[in-house]
Amino acid sequence: MRFPDAVTVLRPTGADEYGNPGTGPHAPAGTFAGFLSGDAVYAAPGVDVQRGDRLVIGADTYDVEGDPRDLRSPSRPVMTRVAVRLRRR
């Protein structure tokens, strides 16, 4: 499968000013090849994306909605689906 988009993962670091864990500023945590289709990003199975991350594709930033899901054929995972929502500026 061809994944034409370069996707940068932004992961929350530390706590915010109120002490809430995992809600501090986001820092780059890696990149992967994927593709955006509607409200989902698709990538190779096992990609390192977590709930609370943000994904940057081109000039747009997306919030990850829920946990990523592996899509399977009858015998093995073939792709990971990450539900996303465009971040308003």
Query: Could you read off the pLDDT of 18-77 as tens digits, one per residue?
Result: 777 666 678 899 999 999 999 999 999 999 999 889 999 999 999 999 999 999 999 998
pLDDT-based confidence at residue 14 (cuts at 50, 70, 90)? confident
CATH number, span 5-86: 2.40.10.270
pTM: 0.86
What region does 75 belong to: left with phi over 0, alpha with psi -120 to 50, or beta? alpha
Going 74 to 77 to 79 to 81, the CA torsion angle's sign is: positive
Q: Counting beta carbons within 10 angstroms of the beta carbon of residue 73, is it exposed (0 to 12), middle (13 to 18) or buried (19 or more)?
A: exposed
